[in-house]
Each structure stands twice: as structure tokens, then as C-alpha cells.
Amino acid sequence: MSLGRMPLANGFLTADQFEDEYFFELEPAFCASWGMFQIIEQPPPESMFHREYSFFTRTSQHMVRHFSDLGETVRREFLQGDDPFVVEIGSNDGALLEGFAQAGIRHLGVDPSANVAAIAERSEVRTLVDFFNQPTAAMIADEHGQADAILAANVMAHIADLHEAAEGVARLLKRQGVLIFEAVSLGDMIQRSAYDLIYDEHVYTFSTRVVAGIFADHGLELIDVTPLPTHGGSMRYVLVHKGRRPVSTAVAEQLAAEEAQGLHLPETYDRFRKKCETMRDRLLSILEDIKQQGRRVAGYGASAKSTTVLNYCGIGPELIEFISDTTPIKQGKYSPGMHIPIRPHADFMAAYPDFALLFAWNHKQEIMAKEPDFMNSGGRWITFFPEVEVF
């Protein structure tokens, strides 16, 4: 399957950068022997994660609360020893580790993007600006000792060399320690035909079978899984050194559910491709009809996911006037590839469009509660998962 010529998902840019914009072919593929769903080509990590990275966890209060709850769970269930040490891979702006810092727990975030790391440091979250790999893991272990818990929220899928990452975790993790990571669930993505979850940063979309298999090669055993509503359907995985903790029945139950869904079958992905094409054509048709009526459409939420939708569907500024976003680093720039202006949320409120195309669909409930005035003014929403809908 190909989603076509694609720019960097978080590569929001100024007009003088249009000419030199980076593109690659976004081609997801399925490996029947491993059950892995991944993109074939990933841009260089340094081009995606850098000092001007545009995603900040704290822009979503829902995710801040989610990470606060996760932190409490980790502290209650897995940090029983004296002077515990917690490491987070891809710690971003410190939203998850802040609770550990406030509790006086030794911690270290690892993130390659200097600008988000600086935000974390302001919240007294100690952060190492670097990529996580075997040398980094060894350096942390030598300097700080091994970790009681290694956390990774929506970042393990970003690491192209999973085997090196797993080896690094095995080196850094104490004998009784836990690796807990969350990632978009392959089963949920396929069920919703949520093709916008496929972009440059997401090398992989995991199934339970794949997670168990890859980490087993490095002596790590999957002992628990928990389905989550975040990002339209995610999974929390808990892994330990083999034999160190009992395995929950949830693992076998999830493996059986994924087999029943057909995640191991190539034909499942052919149906996914066809559904994506149908949804693409339907969304484009709706936007073209609205344009012919002379009515206005704005995008809502300049997310990384919006880059895939806009470029795969061929939606440009002739169909969407602008995209409203609350992240200052994106405002005044243009969307990757299609070059739609990104404007502050105040512009959206100042002159409501007739329609708002909801790119941040995984935060729908939070956004609906925030925008009653738009709906009371007669504004209508356009969504595209799990079906293309106008309401």
C-alpha cells in the first residue's frame, strides 16, 4: 500500500522553506511471518526529532491527566524498594515524569528534542537530550544505576531498530524491574481504518504478538496488556526479565482476540487499503461540494496525523482556508506538503467557518466541550473516523 508522496508529519514550515521541503514515499507493509505492520522507508531520525520539535504533550489536558494516572499506578505497584529510579524513553515536555519529580523519586527523561526537554527541565524533570539506544542505556546504568521502571509513552513505535532498543532496555532494567510502554493498537487502527496514524514517526504499529516476539529475543517477557482509549485505541504493555513475575491471563486473551480479528492474515490489510481509499474519496467529495456552495471550511488541530490526511487525500488551501491550532510554535507557519496556513485559535473564534474538519479526532470529547459557541453559531463538524460524517 502507498499513501503517496509525503512530507515530515511535524514539519510545519515557513513560506521560504517550501522549495526545499523534504518528501518521501509513505508505504506501509505487512510481514506475514512476524505479523509486523510497518512503513518501509523512514526519514532520518534527526530530521524528525530536533530542537524545533512541534509536539508538546501538555497541550492536551486529557493526556496530562492520563499520564498523571499512569505515574500513580507505577509508583503504587512497581516502586516498592528503597531509592527507586525511573527512566522514560521519549520524555517530551516532562508531563509523565513530573509526578515522580514532585514525589522526590530519582528519575531521568531521555529525549532527542532540545526544545521540549527545556520545557521539562523547567518543571524540574531531569532530562538527557539524546536518542535512546544501547550506548545511551549503558551510560545511564553506569552513572545512575539500573532502573526499577522504564517507561515509554507513544514512542517505542518511533524507534527503527527495535532490537537495539530492546537490548538497551535489558541492559538498563533491574532484575525485578518493569518496562511499561504504550502504543497505538494495530487492531484498533485496522478496525477504524485510521490511516492517519501512519506517518513518518510511526515506523511500527504493534500487535501483542509482535511485542511478545521481539522482546522475547532479548530475554524480556510480556506479562500484561491493558487496552486504552488514548489515540483512538492504544495498548499498554508490561514486560520484565523472563520468569521474574507471573504472566496475566490478559496476554493470552489479547492474543486470541487479535487472531480472531485476523491480524495475522494478509487479506485483512488488503481490506484496510480498500476502506482507506473509499474514505479518502468520500472526504474529498464532501469538501469539494462545500466549496461549490461557496461556504468556508477550516481545519481544527494541526496534528501530525493531519499531514497524512491532507497529503493522501490531496486537500490544499483551495478547500481548507486555514487550520486552527493552539501550539505557538506552529502558528504563522504552513502545513507540511499542502501548505495550508496555521492560525491561532483566536482566529477561529473571531469569524467561525461554516464547517470545521476535525483532525484531532482522538480528542473529540475534549474539543466538543470546548467549542459550544461554534456549534451554537450553526457551525458543523466534519470527521473521518471511523466513518466520514458531517454533523
CATH code where residue 346 lies: 3.40.50.720
Per-residue pLDDT at 365? 86
Judging by DSSP bridges, how do beta strands 173-184 and 234-241 pair with one another? antiparallel
Q: Which residues contact 241 (CB under 8 A, 6 or more apart)?
A: 170, 173, 175, 176, 177, 219, 220, 221
**What would the mean pLDDT of 181-208 be, rounded to a whole number?**
97
Q: How confident is the model at residue 176 (pLDDT cuts 50, 70, 90)?
A: very high
Whether 260 and 246 map to the same domain: the answer is yes
Instruction: Report the number of distinct structural domains present in the chain.
Output: 2
Whether 365 and 239 map to the same domain: the answer is no
Last residue of a domain, which of 231, 264, 297? 264
Whether 219 and 339 map to the same domain: the answer is no
Whether 222 and 315 map to the same domain: the answer is no
Whether 351 and 208 map to the same domain: the answer is no
Could you read off the pLDDT of 272-303 as tens digits, one per residue? 999 999 999 999 999 999 999 999 999 999 99
Per-residue pLDDT at 50? 86
Last residue of a domain, which of 264, 288, 310? 264
Q: Which domain holds residue 282?
A: 5-27+267-390
Per-residue pLDDT at 386? 84
What's the pTM?
A: 0.93
Whether 151 and 253 map to the same domain: the answer is yes
Whether 286 and 205 map to the same domain: the answer is no
Last residue of a domain, which of 219, 239, 264? 264
Q: Which CATH number characterizes residue 203's domain?
A: 3.40.50.150
Q: Is the peptide bond before 386 cis (omega within 30 degrees of 0)?
A: yes
Could you read off the pLDDT of 51-69 as tens digits, one per residue? 888 888 998 888 999 999 9
Q: How confident is the model at residue 317 (pLDDT cuts 50, 70, 90)?
A: very high
Work out the mean pLDDT of the chain and round it to a whole number. Answer: 96
Q: How confident is the model at residue 107 (pLDDT cuts 50, 70, 90)?
A: very high
CA distance 241 to 221: 6
Question: Three-state DSSP class for 269?
Answer: helix
Whether 19 and 60 map to the same domain: the answer is no
80 pLDDT exceeds 90?
no
Whether 297 and 369 map to the same domain: the answer is yes
What's the number of CA atoms in the CB half-sphere (13 Å) around residue 253? Answer: 9
Q: What are phi and psi of 220, to 5 degrees?
A: -110, 135
- Residue whose C-alpha is closest to residue 366's, from 235, 229, 236: 229
Site of grid cell 508529519: 9
Whether 107 and 18 map to the same domain: the answer is no
Whether 336 and 276 map to the same domain: the answer is yes
Whether 241 and 282 map to the same domain: the answer is no
CA angle 235, 230, 348 (to 5 degrees): 155
